[in-house]
Structure 1
Amino acid sequence: MTLTSTGISARVLVIEDEPDLLDALVDYLNMEGMQAYGVKNLSDAQTWMILNNFDILLLDLGLPDGDGLNWLKKRQDLRNKGVIITTARSDSLSRISGIRAGADVYLVKPVLPEEIVSLVHNLMRRLRGQAVSVWKLDETGWRLLAPDGRPLKLTHSEHVLLQRLAQSSGQAVSKEALATSLGHNPEHYDFRRLEILIRRLRNKAKDTWDLTLPLETAHRLGYAFTAPIELG
C-alpha cells in the first residue's frame, strides 16, 4: 500500500473528462491500495479540493470547462502536492509549459496505469521528505501562528471562528454551524456579518504576513480551513 508519512494511504485526485478512462484509472489506483477520486472538469475539482485533502493530482489538460495548463499555473496552493499531467499534447512547448507550471511529470497518452502507480510511489517518497506546514491556534493567547511562527493577534470573534474551523480542518463548516459557535441563532442571524468577519480576517493576515490565509469559501456550503492546523 502507498502510504504517507502519517500512515494514511496516498490520496490521488484524478481530473479527466473521458468517463471510461477516468473510471479505469480510479478503479486501478484504488485496487493498488490508494485512495483515488475522480472528477470530470475543473469546476468539480475546485469544489472537491475545498472539501478534501489529497497528496497527488493527476491532471488532463483538455477539459470541457477550461485548459488544465492555464488552471495549474494559477494554483499556487498545489506547490506542496505531487502533480502528474496526462495529455494528448506531445509538442515540446506544451511539455516545457507543463513543467514550468508546476507539474512533476508530463506524460503523453496513452499511459499505462502501472507507470502512474510507480510515479505516485516516487512522488510520495519525495513528499514524505518535506516538512509539513502547520498553522497553530494559540487558544490562551488568542493568536494564530503562521507555519513560520509569526503571530497574528485575534479578536474574540476571530478566535472562536478559527477554533470551530480547526475542529474540522480540511472540511467545510456550514454558515449555520459557524453562527452558532459565535453565539447567534442561525434563524435570525444576518450572514453578511459572517462574510465581513471572514473578509477582515483574510485582509488582516495579508496585511500582517503578506500571506494568503488558507480559509476557503465552499460555495453554498460555508467555509473551510484547508491547511493543517493545531489547537494549543
Structure 2
Amino acid sequence: MDDIRRQSLPTEGDQSKSRVLVVEDEPSIRDTIVYALESEGIDVDWTASGAEALTQIESVDYQLIVLDVGLPDMSGFDVCRTLRETNPVPVIFLTARASEIDRVVGLEIGADDYVTKPFSPRELSARVRANIRRTSLNTTATPFPAKVTEAKVAPSGLPFEIDHDRWVIHYYGHALVLSRYEFRLLAVLVEKPGRVYSRAQLMDAAWEEPDASMERTVDTHIKSLRAKLKAQRADIDPIQTHRGLGYSMKEHW
C-alpha cells in the first residue's frame, strides 16, 4: 500500500479488535480520519487507490471500509460495486457530493452509510463504531452452538435458513453474500411467505432512515437479491412482484 498506519490503543468493548481500511486520496482528510479512528482504538490501514484497495481487501479481513467516491484511478462507486460481488463488509461512502441522487446511487450499489464533506471526525467515528457493532457477531464470531441453533429460522417448505446472530442467510445450503439491506429485505420476505409488502413497508423494515431514501432503492435491492438467488438455482424465482402493490416471497414451491 502507499502507507500503512496501525495502532492498537486500550479501549472498552470489541473496538480494540476492529480493523478498518480508509480509501482516501486527500492527505489532510485521510490523516484526520486515521487519527480519529486510531484514537478510538481501531487499527487502520489506508490507501489512495481504488484498485489497490480491492487487492488489499482480498487478503485482509476488515470490519469496515471508509471509501471516498472521488478517487484518482476509479470511482468509489465502482470499487463498491466490485466489492459487493463477493464481500459483504460494511462500507461508508465519503464524498463532497451532497445531492440526493448521489446518496441513493451509493445505497443502491450496496453502501451501508454515507458521510459528506466537510464532516465531523467525531460523527464519522460514531458511524464507524455503529456499523462495526452491527455486524460484529458475523465478522468476529466465536462458536456458540446453542445460540446459533436457536437463531436459525427455516420457514416450513422453504429452502432458506436465517441466522440473525451472524447476519447470514443460507439458500439451498449455500451462504449468500448479502449487504446489510439485502439481508434485512430477504429476511422479512422469507419469514412471512405469501404476505405482500409494499415498498414503503420494506423500507421501514430495512433502512434506519427510510425517509432519506427513495422507493426505487427497494427495487434495485430486490433485483440484486434475485440475481444472487438465481446464481444458486437458475430455475427458481422465489420473489414475486405484485404490480402496484409490492413484493412477496413465494408461499408454495
The 5-angstrom pairing of residues 170-209 of structure 1 reads: none
Whether 1:58 aligns to 2:81 is no
Q: TM-score, normalised by structure 2?
A: 0.49
Q: What's the CA shift for 1:108? A: 1.0
Per the alignment, residue 123 of structure 1 pairs with: 131
Q: What SS does the corresponding residue of 1:47 show, helix, strand or coil? A: helix
Matched, 1:96 2:104: yes
Instruction: Provide, for residues 55-103 of structure 1, a one-character-per-residue CA deviation record: whole Å limited to 9, x for no partner.
Output: 0110100011011112212222565322111101111111100011111
Instruction: Give 2:83's match in structure 1, choosing from 75, 84, 88.
Output: 75
Partner residue in 2 for 1:28? 36
Distance 2:41 2:69 in 1: 26
- Whole-Å Cα distance in 1 between the matches of residues 133 and 114 of structure 2? 18
| Distance in 2 (alpha carbons) for counterparts of 1:26 and 1:10 | 13
Structure number with higher strand proportion = 1
Q: Which has the higher contact order (CA 8 A, sep 6+)?
A: 1
Name the CA distance, whole Å, in 2 between partners of 1:56 and 1:110.
21
Return 5+ residue gaps in structure 1 as ranges: 135-146, 152-208, 212-232
C-alpha change, 1:131 and 1:49, in structure 2 (3 Å) is closer
SS at match of 2:17: coil
Change (3 A) 1:39 1:3: farther
Q: State the percentage of identical aligned residues.
A: 29
**Number of the residue aligned with 1:189:** none
Q: Distance in 1 between matches of 2:108 and 2:73?
A: 22
Distance 2:43 2:140 in 1: 20
8 Å CA contact retained: 1:60, 1:85: yes
SS in 2 for 1:63: coil
Please provide the CA RMSD for this pair: 3.0
Secondary structure of 2:92 counterpart: strand
Distance 1:28 1:131 in 2: 22
1:74 partner amino acid: T
1:46 to 54, 65, 68: 54
Structure 2 residue runs without a partner (length 5+): 1-10, 143-168, 175-230, 234-253
Counterparts in 2 of 1:21 and 1:33: CA distance versus 1, 3 Å: same
Mark the CA change 1:93 to 1:2 in structure 2 (over 3 Å): closer, same or farther. Answer: farther
Deviation at 1:14, TM superposition (A): 0.4
